[in-house]
């Protein structure tokens, strides 16, 4: 095998192994306490423009 080529079969096998392994180890991070309610987040964009002199 030439060192300048990539063995795609081995790369695909390694990738699929890693993806399957991560999916099996995934644990959801939902909160068990039902009293948490919804969180209020700040908006990304300001609701009104504030000029440099204000």
Q: In the structure, what pLDDT confidence band is assigned to residue 17 with cuts at 50, 70 and 90?
A: low
- In whole numbers, what is the pLDDT of the chain averaged over residues? 63
Give the range of the structural domain holding residue 42, as residue numbers without chain letter.
1-53
Give a three-class secondary structure readout of the chain.
CCCCCCCHHHHHHHHHHHHHHHHHHCCCCCCCCCCCCCCCCCCCCCCCCCCCCC
Mean pLDDT of 10-21: 64
Higher pLDDT, residue 36 or 16: 16
Assigned token pair, 23: 């999916």
Q: How far is CA 32 from the centre of its chain?
A: 22
Q: In the structure, what pLDDT confidence band is assigned to residue 16 with cuts at 50, 70 and 90?
A: low
Number of domains forming the structure of the chain: 1
Give 27-48 pLDDT, tens digit per residue.
556 655 555 556 666 667 666 7
């Amino acid at each position: 095998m030439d060192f300048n080529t990539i063995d795609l079969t081995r790369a695909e096998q390694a990738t699929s192994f890693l993806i399957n392994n991560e999916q099996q180890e995934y644990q959801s991070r939902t909160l068990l306490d039902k009293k948490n309610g919804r969180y209020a987040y700040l908006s990304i964009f300001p609701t009104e423009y504030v000029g440099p002199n204000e």
